[in-house]
Structure 1
Amino acid sequence: MVQIPLWRQKASNRADGVVLWDYHVICVQKKGSGDTPATHLVWDLDSSLAFPCPLATYVLETFCPSFQTFSELRRCFRIVHAPIFLRFFASDRRHMKDSNGNWLRQPPLYQPIVAQDGTVHNLDGYFQIRATDAVTGTGVDVTNAVFTEKLGVVVTENQLEEFFSQIP
């Protein structure tokens, strides 16, 4: 499994806060309406940055775009609209167990998440992302897919901020 570096993470023991994640979940919120310019805020429970943090600051400080990584470590992002995610996501926590079925860490106290359609586990479909899954370009079709597709869309690091700037 590929691991991607993210900076300014609370789980780090390093001064720069870098951690290698195999997947990471954040929430991006659009704030503003009418004549007020839209601002996009990132809610990341694992970040040492402001909570919430402006998207542009988050990208700069967490992804460190100027830091050159190997091409196989190219970051991609699955964007799923929150109401769609809340209806379809499911996890029975199997990813938290070793090959013998023992817990790797103590599981959360709340019940496992079951999707509205009864699915008990589909986490793999959300975090398995290949660079070839990324959409080409942005626009109405990509935006519509985010609002309708169970797994949303995959964008590259270069498309991330542009994508959110086009959300109506």
Structure 2
Amino acid sequence: MTTSNLDFQSEITIAPLNSSQFHHTPFYCEENVYLLCKKLCTSGAADAEGSDLFVVFISNEKKQVPLWHQKASQRADGVVLWDYHVICIQVTVVLRKKGDSSPLVWDLDSSLPFPSPLASYVSETIRPSFQLFSEFQRFFRVVHAPIFLRSFASDRRHMKDSVGNWIAQPPAYEAIVAEDGTVHSLNEYIEISTAGLAKDIGADLIDAVHSQKFGVAVSETQLEEFFSLIS
């Protein structure tokens, strides 16, 4: 995960977890979310198998996605132009205030409350009301966490320059390898095109996200509707 220059127009009660308790390596959001999902499962803040967790890759065909309230930003509004970003969305929380069923967003790179209700996160981070050129529209690949934790792999090749030097210092732990031995599958997650977006949000799409290795892709206008059906 890298940034580029900006040039565009346009009270939750859960288990006592805060962002400092999660492993975070700057610019390795996909690995951070992989470990975050595992910690949520083992800590009791999520289902032990991760059935209430969804990993969401945010990208587009140009690999330029503006997001606000990002800690990496040097601007007052916290906006960053990522090539891609990865978050976790949870449809239930074990120790949440009774009666509150709003999906929650876990984003270790965000300056918003951790976690944040999905509606607030969309409003503050995605800012759908902000007029953008079409090439900056955000697409979302939603992957069920149990499938992701078995299938994701990264040998970190995307974080090296043309001569093999690190663009950003990698995590100290070993690279993540998928259960089937795959060493790098990141590209399949971050490649999202307009042609690959869901045409309709419905039961078939919900079934697909629970069975397909690389999940389903939705537009920013479909994201909240999609999770309203899941929850």
Compute the TM-score of the two structures, normalised by the length of structure 1: 0.95
Q: Where does the alignment leave 5 or more consecutive residues of structure 1 unmatched?
A: none
Moved more, 96-105 or 43-52: 96-105
Per-residue CA distance 1:117-162 (angstroms, 9 max, x = gap): 0000010000011122110111111011111101000000000000
What SS does structure 2 have at the residue aligned with 1:80? strand
Higher relative contact order (CA 8 A, sep 6+): 2
Matched, 1:20 2:81: yes
Superposition deviation, residue 32 in structure 1: 5.7
Per-residue CA distance 1:86-110 (angstroms, 9 max, x = gap): 0101000101111111111211011
CA distance in 2, matches of 1:21, 1:28: 19
Per-residue CA distance 1:50-104 (angstroms, 9 max, x = gap): 0000000000000111111111221110000000000101000101111111111
Partner of 2:114: 51
CA distance in 2, matches of 1:36, 1:85: 29
Partner of 1:30: 91
CA distance in 2, matches of 1:108, 1:123: 16
Q: Is the 8 A contact 1:77 1:154 kept in 2?
A: yes
Superposition deviation, residue 31 in structure 1: 2.0
Compute the TM-score of the two structures, normalised by the length of structure 2: 0.70
Partner of 1:111: 174
Q: Is the 8 A contact 1:87 1:115 kept in 2?
A: yes
What SS does structure 1 have at the residue aligned with 2:109? coil
Superposition deviation, residue 39 in structure 1: 1.5
Identity between Structure 1 and Structure 2 (%): 63
What SS does structure 1 have at the residue aligned with 2:91? strand
Partner of 2:66: 5
Query: After the TM superposition, which parts of structure 1 deviate over 3 Å for at least 4 consecutive aligned residues?
Result: none
Partner of 1:122: 185
Letter in 1 for 2:142: I
Partner of 2:164: 101
Size of the aligned set, in residue pairs, is 167
CA distance in 1, matches of 2:89, 2:185: 22
Matched, 1:165 2:217: no
What SS does structure 1 have at the residue aligned with 2:155? coil
CA distance in 1, matches of 2:138, 2:74: 22
Q: Is the 8 A contact 1:74 1:131 kept in 2?
A: no
CA root-mean-square deviation: 1.4
CA distance in 1, matches of 2:211, 2:188: 16
Per-residue CA distance 1:4-53 (angstroms, 9 max, x = gap): 110000000000000001110000001269x8352110000000000000
Q: Where does the alignment leave 5 or more consecutive residues of structure 2 unmatched?
A: 1-61
Matched, 1:80 2:146: no
CA distance in 2, matches of 1:72, 1:9: 20
